[in-house]
Structure 1
Amino acid sequence: MKILLLCAKAFETMEFSVFVDVMGWAHDDFQCDIEVETCGFNKIVTSTFGIPITVDRLIDDIRPEEYDALAIPGGFEEYGFYDEAYDEKTLKLIRDFDSLNKPIATVCVAAFSLAKSGVLKGRNATTYHLRGGYKQKELAKFGVNVINEPIVVDRNIITSYCPQTVPDVAFRLLEMLTSEEKMKLVKEAMGY
C-alpha cells in the first residue's frame, strides 16, 4: 500500500511528520505493507516555519490510481499555504482520490482544500476550532456540515481540529488501510 503525502507550500511540519512516523512504525515493526511517498509543486517545499523538505515526486507526475490514500497536512495562510492548497492541481487530485473512494486524511485547515474542491459539499467535516471558531464558520460557507468535534470521519474522508489531533488522524488512516487490531498494536507501541 502507498500513501501520498501532499506537501503544499507552508505546510506544518508537525502535521506532516506524524504520518511518516505512524506509517513507519506500522511498516517496520508490524509488517504492514505501507509506504509513504511525498509530493509537492516543487522538489523542495518550505514549511510554515522555514524548514525545507525534499519531496519524492512532483504533483504533475502523480497518478491517483497508483496510491491507496491521500494525506494533507494544514499550514499557515500568512506563509502562503492556500497558494498551492487551492491550486487547481491540488483540487483535481482531491477530486480524483474521492471519485476512486480512496481515504483522504486532512489535518486542521487542510480541510479547506477538500471544501474548495467540492468533495465536502453536503458532508460532515471539521477544521480549526479555536479563536472563536472562525475557521469552522468559513468552512460552513462551502456547504459543509461542520461538526465541532476533534476528528470527523465521513465515509472515506477524515478531517480534524488542529495539530493536537494529528496522531489520531494518522491512526484512523492506518486503521482504514489495515485493521483496527493492527492500528491498536502500533498505537500502543508508540505510547498512545
Structure 2
Amino acid sequence: MKVLLFCCKGFEMMEFAPFYDVLGWAKSEYGYDVEVDTCGFTREVPSAFWNTEIKANKLISEVNASDYDALAIPGGDHLYGFFEEAYDERFLKLIRDFNDSKKNIASVCVGSLPIGKSGVLAGRKATTYHLSEGYRQKELAEFGVDVVNEPVVVDGNVVTSYCPQTAPDVAYTLLERLIGKEKTDTVRRGMGFIE
C-alpha cells in the first residue's frame, strides 16, 4: 500500500506527524506493506510555526493518483499561507483524481476544505475545524457539504476530522482501511494507544 502524504505550505506539524509515525511504525516495526511519499509544491515545505520544514520526496508535478492507494492531507494555518496552495487547481485536480478512482482520502482539521472545494464532498457528510463558532464548518457547508459536528467523519472513501487532536484517530482510520483492523490494532498496541 502506498500513501501520498501531501503538505501544503503552512501545514501543521501536529497533523502531519501522526500520519508519518503511524504509517512508519506499520512499516518499520511490523513489516506491513505500507510506503509513504511526502509531497508538496516545493521540495522544502514550510510548516506553520518555528520555521520548521519537511523535505518532500515528490513534487506535485511528479505524482499520479494511479501510483497510490491513498491521499493524506494534514491541515494548516491560513496565517502561513496554507490556502494559497491548498486551493491551487493542481491540488484540487489531484484530489478529484484520487476520488474518481475511489481511493482513500484522509484529512485532519481544515485539510477537508480543499477536498470540499474540489467538489468531491458535494452532497456528502464531512467535518472540519469546529471551534471559533464553527466558522470553518460554515465555509465547508458552502461547498455543498453536509457538515457533521463530530470528531471524525467517514463517508465512503473520505475521512475528515474537526481539530488537531483528532490526527492520530485519522491516521489509524486510514491505516485500518489499508491493511485491516487486526494489523492496525497491532500498531496501536505497539504505540501505546490500546492495551
Same fold (TM over 0.5): yes
| Farther-moved stretch of structure 1 (81-90 vs 180-189) | 180-189
Match of 1:127 in 2: 128
Structure 2 distance, partners of 1:163, 1:190, is 19
Match of 2:110 in 1: 109
Q: Does 1:183 align with 2:184?
A: yes
Q: Deviations over 1:138-161 (max 9, x none)?
A: 111110000010000001000001
Match of 2:119 in 1: 118
Which residue identity lines up with residue 8 of structure 2 in the other structure?
A
Unaligned runs of 5+ in 1: none
Which residue identity lines up with residue 84 of structure 1 in the other structure?
E
1:80 deviates by 0.6
SS in 1 for 2:72: strand
SS in 2 for 1:30: coil
1:183 deviates by 1.0
SS in 2 for 1:148: coil
CA RMSD of aligned residues (A): 0.7
Q: Deviations over 1:109-160 (max 9, x none)?
A: 0110001000000000000011111111111111000001000000100000
Task: State how 1:23-38 maps to structure 2 within 5 Å.
Answer: 23-38=23-38
SS in 2 for 1:60: helix
Task: Give the TM-score taking structure 1 as reference length.
Answer: 0.98
1:47 deviates by 0.6
Match of 2:70 in 1: 69
Q: Deviations over 1:55-76 (max 9, x none)?
A: 0010011011111100000000
Please list every run of at least 4 consecutive aligned residues from structure 1 whose deviation after the TM superposition is greater than 4 angstroms: none
Structure 1 distance, partners of 2:63, 2:124, is 26
SS in 1 for 2:36: strand
Task: State how 1:1-192 maps to structure 2 within 5 Å.
Answer: 1-49=1-49, 50-192=51-193
| Farther-moved stretch of structure 1 (129-138 vs 87-96) | 129-138
Q: Deviations over 1:62-109 (max 9, x none)?
A: 011111100000000111100000000100000000000000000000
The count of residues paired between Structure 1 and Structure 2 equals 192
Unaligned runs of 5+ in 2: none
1:176 deviates by 0.3
Task: Give the TM-score taking structure 2 as reference length.
Answer: 0.97
Which residue identity lines up with residue 16 of structure 1 in the other structure?
F
